[in-house]
Chain A
Amino acid sequence: MSTSIDSATASSEASSQTFETRRFRAGRRIPHGHRIDVAISLTPSLVVFGTFFVVPAIVLFVTALARWNGVSYSYVGLDNFAAIIHDDTFWKAARNTLLYAAVGVFVQLPLGIVTGMILAQQVRGWQAFRLVLFLPFVISGAAYALVFSMVYNTRYGLLNELLGAVGLPSDHDWLFDSSTALWAVAGTSVLVLGFIVIVVMAECASIDRSLYEAAALDGASTFQTQLHITLPLLRNVIGTLVLITVLGYLALFDVVFIMTGGGPNDATLSLVLYAFRAYTHGAWGYANAVGIVILGLGLLIIVSVRRAFRVGERV
């Protein structure tokens, strides 16, 4: 099968290509001799795609237009979306999610990029640093959240112990005081830099060394080469990392659920946890409507970030 496609591709590039092969390469029609092969090869993917994406997507959209608790179903049109717009808690969750994403983009990401650029210089001990930085990334969010719940604990938490050791007030309730809860939850992921570091290091390794050699001959310092050569050439990968980071925070659930349950008074509530609450109340249609809003936000973010960073374009 692959031989047939290969030969078809090859022949299409030849000057003596046939009419039928040209049509195959242009993707307009599948030649008669290949239709069954193509159908068979596509079937598993289509079945999986249909089962795990198309069908759930249809269910998502259909039920978002209904009052549905898994048992009874009644069509309500756009009522769920109207209710979302008028629900203060939704906007609070949206604002919180935006802040989580902002912390990710403006704190976590720069930290990771700078760290990756430094480690890419292969400074002494860079392999050990890379390992240490990558470890939190392989720990599950739930375990990470539990650990940080203990770090923030008022009675025996590490943070208050450290503050007390340097003479600062050591009795603050970080997670259940509305003034600090959101920042405390956001702060848990700030040092999860492993993935960003690894990606940046890999991209740095692919940069043509002659650029640095030429800059060195011109007398450029390390800082200048990093600023004017490395950073611009990381544009593509930074755009991708921004995308991954924002989408990751858009789907933030486990850390918030375990650490605060969204409280106090919804101060840490994320959009996905808000949808989950609706789900546990049996308002599955409403939860799915929130899911569609999150999906729409995700698509908007993908398009915006790709355009802003011209992701995929040659540097």
Chain B
Amino acid sequence: MFTSKQSRSTAGRGAVVAGTLIALSVGLSACSSPESGSSSAPASGESSGDGAASSASEPVVITCASCADSPTDPFLSYNHQVMLDFNEKYKGKYEVQEVANPLGSSGDERLQYLTRLAQAGELPDLVTVNPAEIAELQTTGSLMDFKASLDADPDWAASFFPGAFDAVDGANGEVWAVPQTRDVIGIYYNKAILADAGISEFPKTWDELGADCQKIADSGKTCLAMDGNWTTLLTWADLIGTQDGGAEFLTTGISGDSYANVPQVVKATETLRDWYERGYFNSDSFTGDYQNAATPFVHGDAAFIANGPWMVPADIKADTAKAGLYDELGYEPSPGWTADGRGAIVVAGQGSLISGAQSPEKQEAVTEFMKYYTSPDVMFGQTLATGSYFPVDVTLTDEQINQLEPLALGLVTQAKDATYSYPHAYFDSPAGFGAAWGNLWPAYAKGELSTDEFLTQLGQDAAASPGN
């Protein structure tokens, strides 16, 4: 896969050697002048400013497996645009080249694919992954540690929100990735469906939500759009996270295998099953296919769906959505178990850039790319393009604020006042959690497993390897 790039890189090294010899001979006659146009790269962590480079040397080429343009994925598409802009800005000095990533958006298979690349020493210099994948990949010893780069540039390090690196750090203070996103995830609701069911406002408590769901079901609509995986687990996390101690389970307990003896988890799980049994979900709510949740919601057939702000550009404003849907929608933090106990899922680093760069030159180029990516303008552009917010503390102008998606901005504003803040279930769970949930949740919801059996097996299957 990387053979052609490597060949080019090898050829490039020859040119670099030749260029260096020429530069050296020139430098000997002008070694006292700091402005002599040396081709040597700045020290790691040192920004190049205008990106000017000597024409005497080849640019440092780094590969990116998450930079291929995509007609359907706004994140990949934006990465591609950033790559082009970076290459233009640093022309002659650094160059990012896109490489194929055949498993760009899948789960377990992508991790195994990247693990094999890491073991072969062929991990791309840039690739977007999630925290669970970082936890696995860091064991290969092939990931670049960004701690030194952050330490060398305190301003860059200070630009991130507190806790922005919590999901990507190592046991000994390593920083295995640079987060691209920091999102608040809430619940979209269709005001028109609520009004038709005689409901005037978004429910503030789970009990209210349950009562509203009954009214909505009676009116012939689906209350909660579920897919058996992502949206179902967001709701599960909301039910857990809005209890005292729930956030602790979602940040630490979920990585263990003892779910059944956590009261918050038991309460949330049984509530979710109760709603299923009452018929509040779409009938195809176990497929694990996100589209089976998104479709009824964007067609105006379902009242609520838990999802991130990226749903607005990706689905709600898509051509396939019901005309005028956007104007019918609201977006709020999760209800709570009490009216003053509402919460919101907040995750930094769900999309994070890791690097397999090994040479100092490439690591320096990667660091420059990361700094470029996390600069205010690029981060703001990402929000406009994808709906996803930024992990850096960007001071926005009024003009910029006016450009932001109002639904998402409203949620971010409201979430500041929410009592609870917690990650979603995938954030700190073992890599096998999703498959285990998909396997067991339908059987549990249909009454084939008790809560204790379900949670015990879920914890064990998520954490343990078969045979161990």
Q: Residues on A close to B: CB < 8 A?
A: 70-71, 80, 83-84, 87, 89-90, 149, 153-156, 171, 173, 175-178, 261-267, 274, 277-283, 286, 289
Do A264 and B112 contact each other (CB < 8 Å), given the known contacts A87-B467, A89-B466, A154-B283? no
Min C-beta distance of A1 to chain B, whole Å: 35
Q: How far is the CA of A283 from the CA of B431 in the complex (A)?
A: 13
Interface centre among A84, A156, A171, A261 (most CB of B within 10 A): A261
Q: Check B286–A281 contact: CB distance below 8 A.
A: no
Please list 7 pairs of residues, one from A and one from B, whose beta carbons are closer than 8 Å in the complex, sorted by A's number.
A155-B292, A171-B283, A176-B287, A264-B440, A264-B442, A280-B435, A281-B464
B439 in complex: contacting residue of A80, A262, A282, CB < 8 Å = A262
Residues on the A chain within 8 Å of B439, using CB: 261-266
**Which residue, of A155, A177, A289, has the highest number of chain B Cβ atoms within 10 A?**
A155
Residues in B with CB closer than 8 Å to A278 are 465-467
Q: Determine whether the beta carbon of A154 is less than 8 Å from that of B448.
A: no
Nearest A-chain residue to B466, judged by Cβ? A278
Q: Does B119 contact A (CB under 8 A)?
A: yes
Q: Is B108 an interface residue (CB 8 A)?
A: yes
What is B's interface to A at a CB cutoff of 8 Å?
108-109, 111-112, 115-116, 119, 136, 139-140, 228, 282-284, 286-288, 292, 296, 431-432, 435, 438-443, 446, 448-449, 464-468
Q: Given the complex of chains A and B, what is the CA–CA distance between A274 and B288 in angstroms?
A: 19
Q: How far is the CA of A153 from the CA of B284 in the complex (A)?
A: 6
Q: How many A-B residue pairs have CB under 8 A?
A: 103
Chain A nearest CB, measured from B468 CB (Å): 6
Which single residue of chain A is at the shortest CB-CB distance from B296?
A155
Contact B119 A70 (CB under 8 A): yes
* Contact between chains at A286 and B468 (CB < 8 Å): yes
**In the complex with contacts A71-B119, A71-B139, A263-B440, A277-B467 CB distance below 8 A:** no
Which residue of chain A lies nearest to B288 when distances are taken between CB atoms in the complex? A261
Are A70 and B115 closer than 8 Å at their CB atoms?
Answer: yes
B139, A264: Cβ atoms under 8 Å?
no
Chain A nearest Cβ from B139, distance in angstroms: 6
> Contact: B466 with A286, CB < 8 Å?
yes
Besides A263-B440, A280-B111, 4 more A-B contacts (Cβ < 8 Å) are A155-B292, A277-B435, A283-B465, A289-B467
Question: Could you tell me if B435 and A261 are in contact, using CB atoms closer than 8 angstroms?
Answer: yes
Distance A289 CA – B465 CA, assembled complex (angstroms): 14
Q: From the candidates A89, A263, A283, name the one contacting B443 in the complex (CB within 8 A).
A: A263
User: Contact at A155–B282, with CB atoms within 8 Å?
Assistant: yes
List of A residues within 8 angstroms of B140 by Cβ: 71
Query: B287 — which chain A residues lie within 8 A by C-beta?
Result: 149, 153, 175-176
Asked if B448 and A178 sit within 8 Å, CB to CB, the answer is yes
CA distance A176 to B443 in the complex (A): 8
B284 contacts A283, CB within 8 Å?
no
Contact A281 B136 (CB under 8 A): no
A80 to B468 alpha-carbon distance, docked (Å):
9
Report the minimal beta-carbon distance from A90 to chain B, rounded to whole angstroms.
Answer: 8
